[in-house]
Amino acid sequence: MFDVEKLVRPGFAAMRAYTPIRPVDILSERFGVPEERVIKLDGNENPYGCSPCVKEALQRYAHYHIYPDPEQKVFRAALAGYVGMGEDYLIGGAGSDELIDLVLRLFLEPGDSVINCPPTFGMYPFCTEICGGKTVDIRRRGDFSIDAGAVKKAVDSRTKVIFVTSPNNPSGNITAEKDILDLLETGVVVVVDEAYYEFSGVTVAPLVARHDNLIVLRSFSKWAGLAGLRVGYGIFSPRLAPYLMKIKQPYNINAAAQVAVLESLKDIENLRAVVRKLIAERGRLFEKLSELAFLKPYPSQANVILCSVSGGRAHKTYEALQKAGIFIRYFDTPVLKDCIRISIGKPEHTDAVIETLKKVE
């Protein structure tokens, strides 16, 4: 008999698990809603799906039995055109989640620390803990802007990485470039997570050419509708990129993901039109939410709207939507009380959400 507790790394027993979202078939089964009636607004996924060209190309592709290119040459060349930076700046990952993990593996030794600015994406503290690092939380201000002064003050000799999300998840606001420049002055590695860049049009990517300690992460999950294929990329200084290339899993961009990215970039005009549609719908959802007295939506530059719910009714609201087959995120943490987060869907999804919310009101 093995004592499993003694075998696993100390700390993992007490570690809190990441709170993931579930796919449609699982939601359908668990909540008894037929799949075609599930309105999934909890994962910031693209309700229009991927480009139809992707599906055709995946069907045509003939080399699924062959390992993909460990150097990602074709992938990086195609990406270079889209990003506007040289191939030597770019490395793909199995989702930007993998790159968050890789970056931390590159810089952290047990006992080192990472600065996190909550409320924000939960993957940073999760990956930090797995690497044996310590998360130092510097709370965002009331308007969800980062407190760059407080972050700088918190930097010490063990601080290895600072995470900034722009636009932020769940609040949707962008981080001012001057704040990022301010943080870069510390000399600590600053990771700017731009998973929602295509919905904001605001980026600090060009700054990577002048700042070796700046890393920008992007994703194909949200705007390009490829969340299920797991593909993202990072923009790194060419002095840093070879280290990531060295420590990554050799075949981390799988063949299907590579095909999907190449086709998406060929069909870029159509994908941009979908993004514009979602941006317009974001405006419409924001207006409609603002009309409900018990809700306070926060302005967003992502494909998601965070809403503060008055009268302690956030959980009730979340449950009422769930009963109607509408799945969103609910937050009740010390840094985010009585809030819900709604991903931008199609117009009919907005209508269904508003109809149910009116009943709650």
Ligand X SMILES: *Cc1c(COP(=O)(O)O)cnc(C)c1O
Question: In the complex, what is the shortest distance from the CB of residue 221 to ligand X, in angstroms, rounded to a whole number?
Answer: 3
Closest contact distance (angstroms) between CB of 96 and ligand X is 4
321 in Cβ contact with 289 (< 8 Å): no
Taking the complex as a whole, the smallest distance from the CB of residue 194 to ligand X amounts, in Å, to: 8
Stretch that binds ligand X, among 91-99, 147-155, 307-315, 324-332 (CB under 6 A): 91-99
Q: Which of 95, 118, 172, 225 touches ligand X (CB under 6 A)?
A: 95
**Cα 160 from Cα 108, distance rounded (Å):** 7
Residues 6+ apart with CB under 8 A from 23: 228
Binding residue for ligand X, selected from 96, 258, 300, 350, defined by CB under 6 A: 96
Q: If binding is defined by CB under 6 A, does position 197 make contact with ligand X?
A: no
Nearer to ligand X, 219 or 252 (CB): 219
Q: How far apart are CA 76 and CA 202, in angstroms?
A: 22
Q: Is 39 in the site for ligand X (CB under 6 A)?
A: no
Q: Find the residue with minimal CB distance to ligand X.
A: 95
**Binding residues for ligand X, how many (CB under 6 A)?**
13
Q: How far is the CB of 113 from ligand X (least distance, A)?
A: 20
Q: Is 169 in the site for ligand X (CB under 6 A)?
A: yes
Tokens encoding 66: 């062959």
> Among residues 89, 107, 121, 236, which is the contact residue for ligand X, using CB under 6 A?
121
Q: Give which of 188, 199, 232 is closest to 92, Cα–Cα.
A: 232
Count CA atoms within 13 Å of residue 3 on its CB side: 3
Q: Show the DSSP H helices in the chain as ranges.
A: 4-7, 24-31, 52-60, 73-83, 96-107, 123-130, 148-154, 177-184, 197-200, 241-247, 255-266, 268-290, 314-323, 347-360
Task: Point out which span in 2-10, 61-69, 219-227, 333-341 binds ligand X (CB under 6 A).
Answer: 219-227
Return the number of other C-beta atoms located less than 10 Å from residue 92's C-beta. Answer: 24
Query: Contact residues for ligand X (CB under 6 A)?
Result: 44, 95-97, 121, 165, 169, 193, 195, 219, 221, 227, 232
